[in-house]
Structure 1
Amino acid sequence: MISLETFNAGHYEDGYGYKYFVPNYINQDWTWNNSTINHLLEKAALKLGELNSFSKLVPNIDLFIQLHVTKEAVVSSRIEGTQTRMDEALLPEAEIKFERRDDWKEVQNYIKAINEAIKSLETLPISSRLIRNTHKLLLDSVRGEHKLPGEFRTSQNWIGGKSLADAKFIPPTHQLIGELMGDLEKFLNNNQIHLPSLLKIAIAHYQFETIHPFLDGNGRIGRLLITLFLVKEKVLDMPLLYLSTFFENPKDLYYDNLSSIRTKNDMTQWIKYFLVGIEQTATKAVETLSSILRFKSDAEDLIRFSYRSRSTNAIRLLHRLMKNPYITIDDAAAICDITYNSANTLVKMMTKDNLLLEVTGQSRNRLYVCKSYLSLFD
């Protein structure tokens, strides 16, 4: 049994001219005596319960999930240095400037990786297999494609600095990854450990980031692991909660809290920070869902009142816009199964009512966005 108050994170061992950190195993029961953790745990759990309840009230909740996923992909990738914006991520590749396409592709890979990982939870536990499969999708045909997509690293990596000589942190040698990831996998799936799910994933996230099992993409996979675990454990009914925005603001605080575990054995402070992040992120997700509901209701009321015979097609188009707020007239024609001229008339009506905005300024091949909806995710 491990006590949070007396937790020992691990030790250093000698490499070739450097020292790497070896974390202690975590697959044990944990205890704590800190009343603040209990208080924060209760607040976080209440907000997650509110988010779950609210999501059940939202009709066609799947309409909104994809935008949440896209936002997470953008923010989580931005933490790692990509420059793609939320609006860019939703555009087709042909609309992206050539010099920004690598960043765009990384975000698209992350969206695909999230969706596939969530789907995989139906048949797989949170496991090294699932994690490697997700990593393979993440690094497919992008700048990390030569960094062993889908495979644990077979060489030493480091965090910060230009080399091992000036690195801020050096994870364990690759020869220990198998056993360390095995311990982490057992911990995540050990039903004999009497530990609240939020505390378990807080500890597991730290451990994953410390092991740093891949040559690239560890941060994104580690952050995604939080949502996957909460969905698998049915703490979340829907994948609507992602902590990347909280971790990003400010990013240094996130890294400092992780580092303090290794340097000061301070797991308690990390868990407090993590639980605050859960509560604040769940609160924001509820606010976003509430705003989405108001937008959807107001837009549908406007359409039913003003569009008459075109109202059915306009609402069909509106629902498509809530999956991806960008659209062309050809898209509208296909979605509504109507002629180009009819789609053009419908798009013009929705533009007049500020449900769509033309963004190219061109006379042909125009692209429209439902900006009032997209802005709800900022």
Structure 2
Amino acid sequence: MLSPTYAIPALPPAGVDLETVEVLRALAPAHRHLAELKGSARSIPNQGILVDTLTLQEAKASAEVESYFTTQDELFQAELIPAESISPAAREVLRYREALKRGFGRMQDQQDLLTSSTLIDLFQYMKNSAESFRHAPGTVLKNDRTGKVVFVPPQDNAQITRHMGDLEQFINAPDERRLALDPLVRMAIIHHQFESIHPFSDGNGRIGRILCVLYLVKEGLLDLPVLYLSRYINRNKPEYYRLLQAVRDEGAWSPWIVFMLQAIAVTAESTVRLVHGMRDLMASTKQHMRDELPSVYSQDLLNNLFRHPYTRIEAVVNDIGVSRQTASKYLKQLQEIGILTAQTRGKNTYFVNEPLVQLISEGE
């Protein structure tokens, strides 16, 4: 059996200054932008719209870290057609989005506990597998470019299970133990520990990023899992992996924590701009509908146009409970007054909320 190249530490790591001057300096903007995002998210009347839209963006960016590439257009269309008709990459993204929402739901059901069983459930759902933590030895992490082995995680299932049990206790520690460290510093430590244990045969990066967002919700720093860290990680992928390994090789915790805090600050700030844009666009679209089509306007129909940037007759039928004929009439009237644009892709006709698609795509 291979020998691990890094001794998984007890948490928090002993004898390490985790709140250096650099970390404390990075904490202030991270907390400020997170608090602004939490408040901004509450300004959207229908929180489900925000969860659906922003978790899809996180899913897309997270899949790109793992080299699954798709487009916004394909994803918005794929939400409304049978799974067998969409590409493997889009299918991966949509499963990640549902896994994130699933984890959020399980955590709420478990009184905000974030457990190993939840992470196992997310892995099984994403991979459509009955596997749990790794059993087969031989897992190594290699440099994609050179093929050189850079890290060997724990190989023995009993060790993996024990390390994950310890991590679960650290995540869900009582208040008096949690308060010893800032929750954002704890999040950075938790993410590193999870990636170093590497408990699953696949999907560890994606599940590790879900873990980050759910932990922020658990700690009350967000109400909803709407921060998509994966975009920042994807744009800074070499630095992310370098700092991840530097902790293992050199004990360089401070630069790693600062990187994660910067990821939080940057992505929270950009997400606030997106939420404000969505709020303003919803308000202007609502007024446009009321002015031009007062007999058609309903809050449910407005919600449909923002939950499904590419909507179809069937989606309107399902969401607002009207007949197919009525749904078709509504969509064509919305097209006539310029709120929607009709596009035909193969056998499917979509009615596109182009201003929303443009708004969402601006940050890519």
TM-score where L is the length of structure 1: 0.85
User: Does residue 215 of structure 2 align to residue 232 of structure 1?
Assistant: no
Moved more, 203-212 or 176-185: 176-185
Is contact 1:51-1:285 (8 Å) kept?
yes
Picking from 117, 126, 146, the partner of 1:138 is: 126
Is contact 2:44-2:50 (8 Å) kept?
no
Gaps of 5+ in 1: 1-14
Picking from 289, 306, 318, the partner of 1:322 is: 306
Picking from 194, 197, 219, the partner of 2:183 is: 197
What is the match of residue 4 of structure 1?
none
Figure out how many residues of one structure are paired with residues of the other and give that number.
354
Greater relative contact order structure (CA < 8 Å, 6+ sep)? 2
- Tell me the alpha carbon deviations over residues 76-101 of structure 1, each in whole angstroms, 9 at most, x when there is no partner: 11211212223322334785897963
Is contact 1:151-1:214 (8 Å) kept?
yes
Picking from 14, 24, 33, the partner of 2:9 is: 24
What is the match of residue 290 of structure 1?
276
Amino acid at match of 2:332: K
User: Does residue 347 of structure 2 align to residue 358 of structure 1?
Assistant: no
Residues 1:251 and 1:182: Cα distance change in structure 2 (over 3 Å): same
Picking from 200, 203, 207, the partner of 1:214 is: 200
- Tell me the alpha carbon deviations over residues 173-216 of structure 1, each in whole angstroms, 9 at most, x when there is no partner: 23421222122112112232411110001011011111111110
Is contact 1:73-1:107 (8 Å) kept?
yes
- Tell me the alpha carbon deviations over residues 340-368 of structure 1, each in whole angstroms, 9 at most, x when there is no partner: 44433321222233322222167x74222
User: Does residue 131 of structure 2 align to residue 149 of structure 1?
Assistant: yes
Amino acid at match of 2:244: L
Shift of the alpha carbon at 1:298?
A: 0.6
Residues 1:153 and 1:230: Cα distance change in structure 2 (over 3 Å): farther
Residues 1:110 and 1:150: Cα distance change in structure 2 (over 3 Å): farther
Moved more, 184-193 or 284-293: 184-193
Residues 1:355 and 1:209: Cα distance change in structure 2 (over 3 Å): same
Amino acid at match of 2:151: F
- Tell me the alpha carbon deviations over residues 199-235 of structure 1, each in whole angstroms, 9 at most, x when there is no partner: 0010110111111111100000000000111111111
Shift of the alpha carbon at 1:66?
A: 0.7
Residues 1:258 and 1:90: Cα distance change in structure 2 (over 3 Å): same
**1:93-132 to 2 correspondences below 5 Å:** 101-124=87-110, 125-132=113-120
Q: Distance in 1 between matches of 2:338 and 2:39?
A: 31
What is the match of residue 64 of structure 1?
50
Shift of the alpha carbon at 1:67?
A: 0.8
Rg larger in structure? 1
**3-state SS of 1:287 partner:** helix
| Percent sequence identity over aligned pairs | 26
Shift of the alpha carbon at 1:243?
A: 0.6
- Tell me the alpha carbon deviations over residues 100-145 of structure 1, each in whole angstroms, 9 at most, x when there is no partner: 63222222221221111101112332121111111111111xxxx4
Picking from 349, 362, 371, the partner of 2:333 is: 349
**3-state SS of 1:57 partner:** coil
Q: Distance in 2 between matches of 1:127 and 1:55?
A: 26
What is the match of residue 3 of structure 1?
none
Moved more, 43-52 or 24-33: 24-33
**3-state SS of 1:289 partner:** helix
Shift of the alpha carbon at 1:251?
A: 1.2
Residues 1:335 and 1:171: Cα distance change in structure 2 (over 3 Å): closer
Residues 1:32 and 1:376: Cα distance change in structure 2 (over 3 Å): same
Is contact 1:132-1:152 (8 Å) kept?
no
**3-state SS of 2:151 partner:** coil
Moved more, 46-55 or 173-182: 173-182
Residues 1:19 and 1:131: Cα distance change in structure 2 (over 3 Å): closer
User: Does residue 242 of structure 2 align to residue 260 of structure 1?
Assistant: no
* Alignment root-mean-square deviation, CA: 2.7
**1:259-278 to 2 correspondences below 5 Å:** 259-278=245-264
Is contact 2:22-2:254 (8 Å) kept?
no
Is contact 2:304-2:316 (8 Å) kept?
no
Moved more, 296-305 or 179-188: 179-188
Amino acid at match of 1:158: V
**1:10-89 to 2 correspondences below 5 Å:** 15-16=1-2, 20-27=5-12, 31-32=17-18, 34-89=20-75
Moved more, 364-373 or 214-223: 364-373
Amino acid at match of 1:325: P
Residues 1:366 and 1:26: Cα distance change in structure 2 (over 3 Å): same
User: Does residue 167 of structure 2 align to residue 184 of structure 1?
Assistant: yes
Is contact 2:133-2:160 (8 Å) kept?
no
Residues 1:361 and 1:53: Cα distance change in structure 2 (over 3 Å): closer
